[in-house]
Structure 1
Amino acid sequence: MSGTQPWGFTDDRGTEPVSARVPERVVAYVRAGAALLDLGVTPVAVYGSGHDGPVSDPAKAGGLDAAGVPYLGPGRALDEELLRESRPDLIVDVTYDGKSPYALDEAVADRLGVPLVALSVGNELTLPAILDRFGALSASLRAGTAVSTAAPADLTGGVEEAEAVLRGVAGRSGLTVLALSGAGPDQVHLARPQAWPELARLAALGVRLLDPGPGPGANWLTADWGRAAELRPDLILFDNRFHAVPPYETPPGTRLAAWNPETPPSPAAYARFFRELAEALVA
């Protein structure tokens, strides 16, 4: 397929943007853009979410900074003129509810007359299904010459091998793991494993993830650090994004490892995460 042929792609809201040709200038939410870069499609620019600030969060950005992809600022406060100057012919966002793009108001894309694709990263899909969807989108876009790089030789990113290593380590170590996001000295958000596709995947690979127990919140149980300590995890996966804070209170001897709840949804990015976790479990 050449870049001059018609293009269409049904996103995870059931919306099918169409174009007279394959989009060549993609602007994306930073998490989505980092995944596309791993998959052989280089965005012309990226933007952040309401959690982000005026500079890009390296935890989300993957290889975007090294590739020289400009960051336009947080999506909900994005200067539309900056977006217009990027001359996008496609915007790629994510969705958690299957209805609305997460980081950019769709009205912005409408005003610019630019189609918007939103791919699900919520728990209605498994992590392998999420990776497959980003792979399918990138494959459809690699026909566009301006945004395409040479497709990586191995688009699986070594994720299957990394999963095999983690499965073996998890089975031998038996360590308990608690995933959390620090909110300050008096508050922490404790992740409910089945609410997060990557945590559910870890559990399927044999990692002994701790559930924080009953209480409000579908994705997190918000509590104090004492509650995290009471669960007595052997290892804490802590949110390493800019807006989160490091663990304030942990039981003696608890190991720490970084977790990015917005890891770019590419096989390469998750392979790195799985390998790092495997190393932490045997450290």
Structure 2
Amino acid sequence: MPDVRSTSFTRRGLLAVGGAIGLGVALTACGDDKGKSTGSAPQGKTGASGKSGPWSFKDDRGTTVKLDALPTRIAAFTGVAAALYDYGIKVDGVFGPTTAKDGKADVQAGDMDVSKLTVFGNKWGQFNVEKYAAFQPQVLISTTYDSTGTLWYVPEESKDQITKLAPSVAVSAYDRQLPQSLQRMWALAESLGGDMKAAKVTAAKKRFEDASARLRAAAKANPGIRVMAGSASDALFYVSGTNLSIDLEYFKALGVNFVEPPESAKKATGGWFESLSWENVDKYKADVIIMDDRTATIQPADITKATWKKLPAVKAGQVISRSPEPILSYDKCVAMVENLAKAIESAKKVA
């Protein structure tokens, strides 16, 4: 992921900066790619259900990938691998934020043991093609955050080399609501042999549904509480619009009252967000602020700007985290829904 302080406003750059993440798709099908397992590769059993035989999956671009058997050598964007891990699917090769500067797991790695992963690139623009080829991938899986099905974190300059080595699958997280993307990841995990009837899996889905009901009730009971979705860099503060982002679209549908920058202000970023100087960070009134939790952004505790500290929501301690790139398993999405519900339930009207 690029440094949000220096990202130019290209489409992919926009998606990488704070607050710019959303759903996607419908690219007309490219052919049915076939991959075959050759040679020995690192990795073990993929599915938890003992499923075997030919495998196929129609992704959110409309592309159907077919293999002679369930893939056992999967390469995936880190957040996708983390979601599949929650469904019992073993992914050994990843690309995207995997380890933080201290060597610990990045927030997007979920519950995976990052020390056991083969990492092809840990930052935006990084992807070791030679290492990837040696891994002998059978399929590459990523999310997509635009209407053309661009594979998230697969560099534009090397995408042709990368996609020639194995067929790819894209799960859309652009311009739709969170449950749709969760359902698509569920379907993918199920196709790969995940045990979707496991108690842990079904319990997580129920907890997500309960959390959503709680958030809807909280929003209905507190219609005056305004929520602002923000992201911080050294030079700028980004205020996200609710359109395009799967989490914000869903929360809005549940009744959450969001600060909404006008379309004219978001035009320069393709409709994603408005960029504010820190001197103007008080442009919008908000009672609760939800802040981008990705490691490429500055976290609330580390923001030293005086204008930030003067914001009513900050002074009232009404700032919580947000995951613009949520790990698409029900288990990992429960907390962000519950936390927002709790924040709205307990918030004081301060702005």
TM-score, normalised on structure 1?
0.86
Q: How many residues align?
A: 274
Give the counterpart letter for 1:45 in structure 2. G
Over 3 Å counting, the alpha-carbon distance change for 1:177 and 1:222 in structure 2 is: same
8 Å CA contact retained: 1:57, 1:241: no
Bigger mean CA offset, 158-167 vs 218-227: 218-227
Over 3 Å counting, the alpha-carbon distance change for 1:36 and 1:210 in structure 2 is: same
- Structure-1 separation of matches of 2:84 and 2:255: 29
8 Å CA contact retained: 2:120, 2:129: no
- Structure-2 separation of matches of 1:102 and 1:36: 16
The answer for the alignment partner of 1:266 in structure 2 is: 329
The answer for the alignment partner of 2:284 in structure 1 is: 231
* Shift, 1:6, TM fit: 1.4
Is the counterpart of residue 91 in structure 1 residue 140 in structure 2? yes
Residues 139-186 of structure 1: per-residue CA shift (max 9 Å, x gap): 00016xxxx8995441626210110111222222331100011121x4
Over 3 Å counting, the alpha-carbon distance change for 1:282 and 1:226 in structure 2 is: farther
The answer for the alignment partner of 2:186 in structure 1 is: 135
Which runs of 5 or more residues in structure 1 are unaligned? none
- Structure-2 separation of matches of 1:183 and 1:226: 13
- Structure-1 separation of matches of 2:216 and 2:287: 17
Is the counterpart of residue 115 in structure 1 residue 115 in structure 2? no
Which of 287, 311, 316 matches 1:251? 311
Bigger mean CA offset, 198-207 vs 169-178: 169-178
Which secondary structure does the structure 2 equivalent of 1:159 belong to?
Answer: helix
Give the counterpart letter for 1:162 in structure 2. A
Which runs of 5 or more residues in structure 2 are unaligned? 1-48, 347-351
Give the counterpart letter for 1:118 in structure 2. A
The answer for the alignment partner of 1:204 in structure 2 is: 253
Is the counterpart of residue 166 in structure 1 residue 229 in structure 2? no
- Structure-2 separation of matches of 1:93 and 1:173: 37
- Structure-2 separation of matches of 1:245 and 1:11: 34
* Shift, 1:22, TM fit: 1.3
Give the counterpart letter for 2:62 in structure 1. G
Query: How does 1:33-44 map onto structure 2 within 5 Å?
Result: 33-44=81-92
- Structure-1 separation of matches of 2:102 and 2:58: 32
Which secondary structure does the structure 2 equivalent of 1:245 belong to?
Answer: coil
Is the counterpart of residue 32 in structure 1 residue 95 in structure 2? no
Give the counterpart letter for 2:170 in structure 1. A
Give the counterpart letter for 2:256 in structure 1. V
* Shift, 1:72, TM fit: 3.3
Q: What fraction of aligned residue pairs are identical, expressed as a percent? A: 25
- Structure-1 separation of matches of 2:135 and 2:343: 41
Query: How does 1:73-84 map onto structure 2 within 5 Å?
Result: 73-74=121-122, 76-84=125-133
Residues 40-80 of structure 1: per-residue CA shift (max 9 Å, x gap): 2121121117xx98967622111123794443323632222
Which of 42, 47, 54 matches 2:95? 47
Over 3 Å counting, the alpha-carbon distance change for 1:87 and 1:29 in structure 2 is: same
Over 3 Å counting, the alpha-carbon distance change for 1:153 and 1:188 in structure 2 is: closer
Which secondary structure does the structure 2 equivalent of 1:230 belong to?
Answer: coil
Residues 1-38 of structure 1: per-residue CA shift (max 9 Å, x gap): 96542111111111111111111221110111111112
Which of 226, 230, 241 matches 1:180? 230
The answer for the alignment partner of 2:272 in structure 1 is: 219
* Shift, 1:132, TM fit: 1.1
The answer for the alignment partner of 1:281 in structure 2 is: 344
Which of 169, 174, 177 matches 1:126? 177
